[in-house]
Structure 1
Amino acid sequence: MTTLPGKPVSFWLDSTAKTTYPQMENVTVDVAIVGAGITGITAAYLLKKAGKKVALIEGQHIAASASGHTTAKVTSLHQLIYAELIDRHGEDKARLYGESNQAGVEFIASTVEQEGIDCDFQRNDTYSFAEDKNNLDKVQKEYDAAVKLGLPAEFVTDTTLPFDIAGAVKFNNQAQFHVRKYLLHLADLIPGDGSYVFENSRVKTAEEGTPCKVFTDNATLLANDVLLTTHLPIMDQGLFFAKTYPQRSYIIGAKINSAKAPEGMYIGVGNNYYSIRTTPTEGKDLLLMIGGGSHKVGEKSETEESYQELERYAHSHFEIDKIDYRWSSQDYESFDQLPFIGKLTPANDRIYVATGYSLWGMSKGTMAGMILSDLVQGIANPWVDLYDSLRATPFVTKESMKNNLDVGMHWVGDRLKGLTSWSTDDVKPGEGKLINYKGETVGVYKDETGKVTAVNATCPHLGCIVNWNSAEKSWDCPCHGGRFTCEGKIIQSPATKDLEVKTLS
């Protein structure tokens, strides 16, 4: 079994206390918000300030899922996006995209100041860089597009990275922070005066009505409006699982002497790119975070390789002694590069969604919370049409056709996995494997002590067969990104049920 470097936990979670909010109760509020990441917490904070009674409902712990596993770059520079947006959507829409994301950056900055939030917030420059001349034209094109749109862009060839680059587009006066310190502070402002924060409350579904109803296994909550901010909506009516696709990426953290650490935030361009930033830790050293290894969820079983490659890159490019942390993150990429923010379906007037942030959830998630708050209050918002969840979507693009073909192939072809009879003796300690058990595809995990856990390998979302993720010790659905622990417990939606535990006799 491969030994991986670092503590297997997000630094953001490891450096903050575990939250202990109660489970959902039978209460009545103005707005129910399902999913307590950056979008849900931002919307709840704004609506509570506006005088609404809100209930923020989280299936696990607040700010501990996608928002707790990000690199937490607060920026409107999203690697290479603006040139593509101009080509695909035109200058006006590309300009709105830049304005709205920059507004997300400034909202976080002003909220930190107004609320006095201690979250290591600092203004910083950010860079999309080409290490060699092969990708320099992409960087130049992005710079030209950003300048045309009035964004704070420069083209540079010198940075504080400890290696040479061919060139970079730089956005000035962006920001970085400790995402969980920020979100926990905002969440603490919500309870009271008829508002609530609920944890460990897995919402199964919601029904629109007068009022709307939100259901868990043990309670029913009533609300005038419902916001689904669960990364990918837990309700399938809007078909957002077919308008996006799930991506996983990997992050390592290593302490580095502050005198030897790069200043600013970075992301490479081209194939096999890396994301780089630092953050304060206890003591004088900074934590250098390096991300990369992106792949579609469930498409890669031997995920240890992603961490090992990040470790090699870190040691070859930076003066570090060892890897202190490792964790992975997940996001949903939109086929037209724009998030979906608005109504769940044309028939819904009171259930709203936000999804498809395409790996840049800090500015987009914040901006989405701002839009949702305005929609509920009937306030005109300048960006609502750009991100309209009901807009015509590009089902017929190269990316969407390939993705949805892949989903169909997984749904059919993965049923052949594990059909060769296996014994649990063939599963090594620390390994998960699909086996045939009495004609059924079963996921079997054997821990280091030899204890075996078996689950039905069919994802309860839409029936795809899960795959084993070796580095994370999880069962991941390759169709729509649902993830489950080795014991079958939900880690990540859109599934709302655990994998069925099986008894092997």
Structure 2
Amino acid sequence: MKSVWLENYNIEKRESLKGNINVEAVVVGAGITGLLTAYMLQKKGVEVIVIDRGRILNGNTKNTTAKVTIQHNLIYDKLLKEFNEENAKRYAEANRLALENYKKIIEENKIDCDFENVDAYVYSLNNPEKIINEYEAAKKIGIDSELLDEIELPFKIAKAVKFKNQAQFNPVKFLNFIAKDLKIYEDTKAIDIKDGLVITNRGEIKAEHIVVATQYPIINVPGYYFLRMHQERDYVIALKNAQKLKGIYRDENEEGYSFRNYKDLLILTGGSVRTGANEEGGKYDQLREYAKQLYPASIEEFNWSAQDCMTSDYIPFIGIYSDEMPNVYVATGYNKWGMTSSMVAAIIISDKITGKENDFNEIFSPSRFDLTASIKNLTKDFGTTVYNFIAQKISLPESVLEDVKLGHGGIITYEGEKLGVYKNNKGEVFTVSSKCPHLGCELKWNPDDLAWECPCHGSRFDYKGNFLNSPTIKELKYEE
């Protein structure tokens, strides 16, 4: 599986770190957040390097649907109700500034990245009140919006709200330009961060400022981000012979679908599920069936999936990692809106490092943690994690190797212990430890992605145990 952004596109390979070095700032993670932050720091005269455990743009950035919009589902009605009008305005203004920054960088540097302005829509199939509330909230805080009864998609809706003059682009083309003058070390894995040092498998990096841009933070304590977020996956197919849209669209229902065009393709997204909860599979088939209902003549050209960190109050954590680590910064919890959120993070963190004040620190601060606004989701997240830990203690699988069908995976017992087994269509067997090396939660098999996933915190591994997604920093132990 490969996303459309990587089609016919090669990214320059970078060397790995060779020994200990001293720098003013180091960014851990070469995805969109890390690259934008390093780019802005370098523009402000800061000596900065970027490290990544794998290749540049090899994480979730390549799997985005790349909608650049301040419209983040029904966020503004929530912000007005759970925080206050001032913070709702700051959230909107930060994301508006992010959108403007993209435009400015692309225009000034004449970057060929298929950037285009489009309107963004959130629609509801059966709950007009939610849309009306979001429209009224948007108008109250000054967002140029419009309430609609119909949209161009081929089905009826209850209501939709339109945010005018948003955008979409090809993120890999854009970031390839952003990265060209940055010092980036690939195949350089951060193992620990302490006392102004990033300890890697290639040497130690001493830095005045350290930015953790690994999507999910890799340091558990302090910070405790694993108690404050969960991860979700969404599935994507790109279709030929579908519909040419004038805007980008999102169903307000988390189980609904989103739509956008890229050149002659329609990108259809759906199948949202908590990471580790897709044991039945069928998410791609669900999308294909829906596509055939809407566009019978469509042909699937690409399919891929993406992972996102979800905070309990729907606002990213951007700022100081922890009071105990004042020279370390974090950006995480984008709640599926990574394009503007990553630019917001680059603005906030680069300002902090260079001593510039801005108005966005409070609303995005990792230390905000307003329990009154997030207690319901926090309790749900924590309960799910606890359930998965307890379930693995009281349940031993009865399956043995012979029970695993060709092309499938599962947990089996072997000599009284649990093992994760995948059996390919040729009958070859790949066996791994069943425990996530992050905090020991029992892994679940995802048949759609042929991957082992942690239902507690969202770490992921391929069927051979190779790392796919943090918070883990370790590979999964392979069992002979």
CA distance in 1, matches of 2:75, 2:158: 19
* Amino acid in structure 2 at the alignment position of 1:267: R
In the other structure, the counterpart of 1:52 is: 46
CA distance in 1, matches of 2:27, 2:83: 31
1:393 deviates by 4.1
In the other structure, the counterpart of 1:150 is: 142
In the other structure, the counterpart of 1:193 is: none
Higher mean alpha-carbon deviation, 161-170 vs 326-335, is at 161-170
In the other structure, the counterpart of 2:153 is: 161
Is 1:206 the counterpart of 2:218? The answer is: no
CA distance in 2, matches of 1:120, 1:148: 33
* Amino acid in structure 1 at the alignment position of 2:230: Y
* Amino acid in structure 2 at the alignment position of 1:243: R
TM normalised by structure 2 equals: 0.96
* Amino acid in structure 2 at the alignment position of 1:95: K
Is 1:112 the counterpart of 2:68? The answer is: no
User: Which of 258, 261, 265 is 2:244 aligned to?
Assistant: 261
* Amino acid in structure 2 at the alignment position of 1:205: D
Offset from partner CA, 1:87-124 (integer Å, 9 cap, x none): 00011111111111111111111111112211000011
1:37 deviates by 1.4
In the other structure, the counterpart of 2:255 is: 272
**Partner SS, residue 326 of structure 2:** coil
User: Which of 113, 119, 127 is 1:135 aligned to?
Assistant: 127
1:329 deviates by 0.6
Task: Output aligned runs, 1:300-319, within 5 Å.
Answer: 300-303=278-281, 305-318=282-295
CA distance in 2, matches of 1:349, 1:406: 31
User: Which of 424, 428, 437 is 2:405 aligned to?
Assistant: 428
The 8 Å contact of residues 127 and 267 in structure 1, kept in 2 or not, is answered as yes
In the other structure, the counterpart of 1:197 is: 184
CA distance in 2, matches of 1:152, 1:439: 62
In the other structure, the counterpart of 2:82 is: 88
User: Which of 286, 301, 304 is 1:324 aligned to?
Assistant: 301
The 8 Å contact of residues 299 and 478 in structure 1, kept in 2 or not, is answered as yes
1:499 deviates by 0.8
1:271 deviates by 5.3
CA distance in 2, matches of 1:121, 1:496: 35
In the other structure, the counterpart of 1:246 is: 231
Task: Output aligned runs, 1:483-494, within 5 Å.
Answer: 483-494=460-471
The 8 Å contact of residues 31 and 59 in structure 2, kept in 1 or not, is answered as yes
Offset from partner CA, 1:123-156 (integer Å, 9 cap, x none): 110100123xx21111111000000010111112
* Amino acid in structure 1 at the alignment position of 2:201: D
In the other structure, the counterpart of 1:17 is: 10
Is 1:289 the counterpart of 2:267? The answer is: yes
User: Which of 322, 339, 344 is 1:345 aligned to?
Assistant: 322
CA distance in 2, matches of 1:15, 1:122: 21
1:230 deviates by 0.6
The 8 Å contact of residues 16 and 202 in structure 2, kept in 1 or not, is answered as no
CA distance in 1, matches of 2:462, 2:257: 27
In the other structure, the counterpart of 2:378 is: 400
1:415 deviates by 3.8
The 8 Å contact of residues 85 and 94 in structure 1, kept in 2 or not, is answered as yes
TM normalised by structure 1 equals: 0.92
1:167 deviates by 2.1
In the other structure, the counterpart of 1:97 is: 91
The 8 Å contact of residues 418 and 442 in structure 1, kept in 2 or not, is answered as no
CA distance in 2, matches of 1:184, 1:206: 28
Q: 1:419 and 1:314, CA in 2 relative to 1: closer, same or farther beyond 3 A?
A: closer
**Partner SS, residue 387 of structure 2:** helix
The 8 Å contact of residues 418 and 434 in structure 1, kept in 2 or not, is answered as no
Higher mean alpha-carbon deviation, 432-441 vs 482-491, is at 432-441
The 8 Å contact of residues 291 and 298 in structure 2, kept in 1 or not, is answered as no
Q: 1:49 and 1:320, CA in 2 relative to 1: closer, same or farther beyond 3 A?
A: farther
In the other structure, the counterpart of 1:354 is: 331
User: Which of 329, 347, 350 is 1:373 aligned to?
Assistant: 350
1:270 deviates by 2.6
The 8 Å contact of residues 119 and 248 in structure 2, kept in 1 or not, is answered as yes
Offset from partner CA, 1:366-405 (integer Å, 9 cap, x none): 1111111111111111101111112234397222112101
In the other structure, the counterpart of 1:233 is: 217
**Structure 2 regions of 5+ residues with no counterpart?**
none
Q: 1:105 and 1:15, CA in 2 relative to 1: closer, same or farther beyond 3 A?
A: farther
CA distance in 1, matches of 2:381, 2:339: 25
**Partner SS, residue 385 of structure 1:** helix
Residues paired across the two proteins, number: 477
